[in-house]
Structure 1
Amino acid sequence: MNHIYYVESDATHAGNFIFDIPQGHQCWLLVITKTPAQFWVNGELKKYPPHSAILYQAHQKIYYQACAEKYINNWIRFESDEPFVSKTSLPFGIPFALDDPDYCHKLFELLVIEHNFNRDYKKSSIDCLLHTLFNKLLESYFHDGFTTQYYDLLKLRAAIQSNPGDHWTVPKMADSLRISPGYLQTIYKKTFGISCIEDVISSRIRLAKEYLFHGSQTITEVAYRCGYQNVEHFCRQFKQATGYSPRKFQRHTDPLEEVRDTPVMISKLTDSP
């Protein structure tokens, strides 16, 4: 059972903001900062950067304050006896960095909507959203190899996978992050285990398979929709990735799982998207 007492996203306060509850709440409190803040941790006041999350259990001392001209956070005060909360591996009263703050912020916005409107599936929707939020918190807490560019890399990868047909080049991607092309390729591969160009190709092939299986476009139309200016180049990369030519793939009458979900064989693909 989950019950939200109050949830707020983008709560904004002046630079003199202080939240001090010595005896804590009688329920859970989760706070995610969007600006720097100071938290009382292990007997002393410590400064933490933006995009930090902190979970307080019932009756735990709560103290945090602004340390800039403005303080902004997302927060939720709630009860829960669900194991994903009551038996969580997250620390209590100790902030940790978020891997994907934008994703978590969107979950908070959805929680606010569900909490404020009396809809038919309000309870189950809140349960799902809260569970997903705690999954993202666990991913962040146990994430290894966190880098200062991680947020920007996540946004770049999401853009690639959402719009694989765009004109992606290494210099263009590097410029969007204001880093050198060589450094981008190094940190992207280290972070995701795949190069940025390989990610572009993989995303394009995945989109092409969807069009070929479920659309009515010609091979040429699919190629252009997936970002290829040269149909022959598209056909060559598609066959390298799937083992099928686009036409044979399109005409396959029995959509076998091994065909539909054939993994992109990145090692055989050229670095040109």
Structure 2
Amino acid sequence: MAHIHYVDCNTTHASNFVIDVPVGHHWLLVITKTPAQFWVNGALKEYPAHSVILYRPQQKVYYRACANQFVNDWIRFESDEPYITESPLPLGIPFPLDDPDYCHKLLELLTIEHNFSRDYKASSIDCLLRTLFNKLLESYFHEPITPQYYHLLKLRTAIQNDPGDYWTVSKMAEFLDISPGYLQSIYKQAFRVNCMEDVINSRIRLAKEYLIHSTQSVAEVASRCGYQNVEHFCRQFKQMTGYSPRKFQEHEKA
């Protein structure tokens, strides 16, 4: 289990903010929302927003603002869990975070659990920390993150949260203020699937849910999933699943 000493989100500091602890007492995890300078291998180096750094106990901690303000999420804690103490994550060296919004939500939940005494507080904190460290590992072993990656991630999240919207390549390109051709190139490079395939996959996944667990007609499901033409929906659904919507419904409810 882990014991949190302090956790906070969206902490904002002025441009003269500095943390200088020659010997840290506990584990410290810092996720930046703005650029910052960190002391790494005997020198002060600047790192971009959405960087994460993990300090072990007794490790020197030094970082500072390098813009008009410094904003970060951070957590100071103790733990003897192997997923932390034996983690392959680098110590005292920042690396880019591949899904900052997801990790921010985990830190918000950790803040809530830490601040309230609930029956399952300890196990909830442990589960959240394990998930957070899984996300950190995914980030650390992620392919190099391009400047456009975070914008693409917001677009992909919007698609998956609302696949029934009228998504087109042109609309998605407009979302990012780039050309349709460039969008298709960098989207596939980032997620290994092209943007319209992602839309279709999300729509069919949602359609399956409605077909199995609702009483809506095939036409109603098609409309809710972003299809203006029922025949097109049926054709695409069969292409993706091997079943027509009606046959899929019968098969799953049998």
Matches within 5 A, 1:46-195: 46-195=45-194
| Aligned: 1:23 with 2:39 | no
- Secondary structure of 2:88's aligned partner: coil
Matches within 5 A, 1:196-207: 196-207=195-206
How far is the alpha carbon of 1:253 from its aligned partner? 5.5
> Aligned equivalents of 1:241 and 1:92: distance in 2?
44
Counterpart of 2:250 in structure 1 is 251
Counterpart of 2:7 in structure 1 is 7
> Aligned equivalents of 2:246 and 2:31: distance in 1?
50
Taking only the aligned residue pairs, the percentage that are identical comes to 71
TM-score scaled by length of structure 1: 0.91
Q: Is the 8 A contact 2:218 2:246 kept in 1?
A: yes
The 1:145/1:40 distance shift into structure 2, 3 A limit, reads closer
Counterpart of 2:215 in structure 1 is 216
> Aligned equivalents of 1:27 and 1:16: distance in 2?
24
Counterpart of 2:230 in structure 1 is 231
Show CA shifts across 1:180-207 (max 9, x none): 1001101111111111101111111111
How far is the alpha carbon of 1:254 from its aligned partner? 5.2
> Aligned equivalents of 1:254 and 1:131: distance in 2?
36
> Aligned equivalents of 1:182 and 1:99: distance in 2?
24
TM-score scaled by length of structure 2: 0.97
The 1:253/1:151 distance shift into structure 2, 3 A limit, reads closer
Provide the aligned C-alpha RMSD in A.
Answer: 1.1
Q: Is the 8 A contact 2:212 2:252 kept in 1?
A: no
1:217 is matched by which residue type in structure 2?
Q
- Secondary structure of 1:65's aligned partner: strand
> Aligned equivalents of 2:183 and 2:93: distance in 1?
32
> Aligned equivalents of 1:68 and 1:183: distance in 2?
31
> Aligned equivalents of 1:148 and 1:103: distance in 2?
18
> Aligned equivalents of 1:136 and 1:5: distance in 2?
22
> Aligned equivalents of 1:101 and 1:120: distance in 2?
29
How far is the alpha carbon of 1:130 from its aligned partner? 0.6
> Aligned equivalents of 1:230 and 1:142: distance in 2?
42
Show CA shifts across 1:52-78 (max 9, x none): 111110111111111111111111110
> Aligned equivalents of 1:127 and 1:161: distance in 2?
28
> Aligned equivalents of 2:72 and 2:85: distance in 1?
23
2:165 is matched by which residue type in structure 1?
D
How far is the alpha carbon of 1:237 from its aligned partner? 0.7
Counterpart of 1:242 in structure 2 is 241
Counterpart of 1:268 in structure 2 is none
Show CA shifts across 1:101-139 (max 9, x none): 111111111110000001111111100111111111111
> Aligned equivalents of 1:167 and 1:65: distance in 2?
44
- Secondary structure of 1:252's aligned partner: helix
Counterpart of 2:42 in structure 1 is 43
1:103 is matched by which residue type in structure 2?
Y
Question: Unaligned regions of 5+ residues in structure 1, if any?
Answer: 256-273
How many residues are treated as equivalent by the alignment?
254
> Aligned equivalents of 2:179 and 2:19: distance in 1?
42
1:212 is matched by which residue type in structure 2?
L
How far is the alpha carbon of 1:252 from its aligned partner? 2.2
Show CA shifts across 1:141-175 (max 9, x none): 11114211111111111111111100000011011
- Secondary structure of 2:6's aligned partner: strand
How far is the alpha carbon of 1:82 from its aligned partner? 0.6
